[in-house]
Amino acid sequence: MVVSNFDKRLLIEQIRYMETEHPLACDTEEHFSDHNVHKDFEDRLWLRAQRLVEQHNLSLMLGRAAKLSRYVKMFIFFMAALLGALGSIYAITDNHTINIYWLLLVLLGFNLLSMLLWLTGIGLNIKGLTSGMLARLTSWLPEHLKSKSQTTDAGNDKNGMPFDKAWLDCHFSGAVGKWQLSKITHQLWLVYLFTGLLFLILLLMVRQYDFVWGTTLLSDSIFIKMTDVLSVPLDILGFATPSADLVQETRIGSLPSDTAQTLTVEHRYHWAQFLLGSLLCFGIAPRILLWSWSVMMYRRAQNLFTLDHYLPYYINLRQRLMPLASHGEIVDADTSPLVIAETQVKKPLPHALPVETQWVAVELDDNMSWPPPSIHMANDLGQVINRESLTLILQRLQGNRRPVIAVAVSSARSPDRGVQRTITSLMSNSAQRWLVLLKEHVDEPVSSTRLAAWYRLAEACDVPADHLITMIME
């Protein structure tokens, strides 16, 4: 079964209304966000909505509004049919003489008025005029439901009220609502007119009526002219219509009673045809036209019905169902997980360095000038910044037998394996090993993770804890 776009969107909206009040968990959501599914956003929303319906067993609740509205519609159609039938019967059954223009006014007058109002309403886009009572009802009902659902919320977790409200909102608001109401209005009038016509034919078939007309205020010529004008389309359609003489003769009291008897058969036939033709031509036919137009516009409005993708609800779902990126696939895994030994961060006690200490700086920050004034030039071996400088310093160290080595580093920088290797090679042949953490000034913040990393490095390089000291560069 092909589901129309409107029905898909309706279901999605119903789920949105529900989820705005009670979030629903979807067990297979990841599946819909799979980029290999190759569906657009709304298709994914629909698939997800369908899954939710299945998972939470919502189909009964979802269909409730539609089912209810079908019953209501059937009921009002029945009422319209009843009114049409009663209208016809009451208009002509009380006596055997029918006032032809009065009857036309009764059957078509209100219809015409309502049609004019509807056209004005559509033309000027005034909701209240297009469908009268129906529009009132449909604008009141959702509000009513809303307040009702708020009051019943506390007790019942999943009543279907949001579904009903969504259904009503989708069907009876905006362009869809306008044409939906127009469609129903025309249908109602059609039912009314058809049953009216049917009962009229039945009555005219089995009973004999005399047709007359009369006026108190207007002149006779107006009626004769009007009949002529009304007859033009009827003639074309092949209905027998009364001639000018015949109209004149039907005027109440225009003929002596004896001749009336001879003319009445023709009279009756022509007037009955005129009556039925007028009903068809001026009542039913325009309504059918307007109804088909409304149906057309209704379908168009349904096709144009869109979801507001800018609502936070949809934005959120888009992020979940259509992620811009995916991650988490490890392609080259770590085979030997890093074990970070817990090192206690203790502020080392200041300790005096031997006078003959040889100083080497390793990868200092740009803003630290090496050597600082406190270190004698003769004791400074230089700074390691690349392979060449390391080689040079190592060569210098070789001339020294088991020296006391102090390696100075920026405490704010993070040590890596290269730094560790460099320091190890510098200290390899030393009698005493010192690691000096340089700080630019006393208040320079150093994160505890950085400090911990330096402590670990000192441990790895066999620097005793009391040989790990902090020095201020100022």
Partner 1 sequence: MTESKQESSYPTINIAVVGHTNAGKTSLIRTLLRDDQFGNIEDTAGTTRSVEKSVIFAGDDAVLNLFDTPGFEDSSALLKALEDLSKTVETHLPADLLRGFISQTEKFPDFEQETKVLRQSLNSDVLLYIIDVREPLLGKYSDEVEILSMAGKPILPVFNFIAGNDESLKRWREQMARFNLHAALEFDTVAFDFEAEKRLYQKLQSLLERHYGTLQTLIDYRQEVWKGLVHAGAQRIFQLLTQVACYRREVAGKDGISDADVTSMQDFVREAEQLALRDLLTIFAFTQRDVDLQQLAVRDGQWELDIFSPRALKDFSLNTGATALKGAAAGAGIDLMVGGMSLGAATMLGAALGAGWATLRRYKHELVAAWQGHKWLCADDGTVSLLYLRQRKLLRTLTQRGHAAQNKIQLSDNVEHALPKRWHKVVKVLRQNPEWQHNKSSGLEYQQIQTDVINWLTSDEKVA
Q: Which residues bind partner 1 (CB under 8 A)?
A: 35, 37-39, 120-121, 124-126, 128-129, 146, 173-175, 309-312, 315-316, 319, 322-338, 340, 363-366, 385-390, 413-418, 421, 447, 449-450, 452-453
Nearest residue (CB) to partner 1, 33 versus 254: 33
Q: How many CB atoms lie within 10 A of CB 107?
A: 23
Residue 101 CA to residue 79 CA, distance in Å, equals 26
Nearest residue (CB) to partner 1, 146 versus 346: 146
Q: What angle do CA 155, 159, 163 make, to 5 degrees?
A: 150
Please report how close the Cβ of residue 127 comes to partner 1 at its closest, in angstroms: 9
Q: For 100-153, where are the E strands, in sequence order? A: none
Residue pair 361/409 in contact by the 8 Å Cβ criterion: yes
Sheet holding 468-472, edge to edge: 380-384, 358-362, 404-410, 432-439, 468-472
Nearest residue (CB) to partner 1, 205 versus 338: 338
Residue 44 CA to residue 309 CA, distance in Å, equals 13
Residue 41 CA to residue 353 CA, distance in Å, equals 70
Please report how close the Cβ of residue 183 comes to partner 1 at its closest, in angstroms: 18
Please report how close the Cβ of residue 203 comes to partner 1 at its closest, in angstroms: 36
- With H, G, I as helix, E, B as strand and everything else as coil, classify residue 431: coil
Please report how close the Cβ of residue 148 comes to partner 1 at its closest, in angstroms: 15
Please report how close the Cβ of residue 325 comes to partner 1 at its closest, in angstroms: 4
Residue 346 CA to residue 298 CA, distance in Å, equals 79
Please report how close the Cβ of residue 309 comes to partner 1 at its closest, in angstroms: 7
Nearest residue (CB) to partner 1, 339 versus 378: 339
Beta bridge partners of 404: 432
Please report how close the Cβ of residue 427 comes to partner 1 at its closest, in angstroms: 17
Nearest residue (CB) to partner 1, 9 versus 267: 9
Please report how close the Cβ of residue 144 comes to partner 1 at its closest, in angstroms: 13
What is each CA distance from 183 to 180, 193, 300, in whole angstroms? Answer: 5, 15, 13
Nearest residue (CB) to partner 1, 250 versus 422: 422
Q: For 158-275, where are the E strands, in sequence order? A: 210-212
- With H, G, I as helix, E, B as strand and everything else as coil, classify residue 409: strand
Nearest residue (CB) to partner 1, 275 versus 419: 419
Q: How many CB atoms lie within 10 A of CB 467?
A: 18
Nearest residue (CB) to partner 1, 396 versus 413: 413
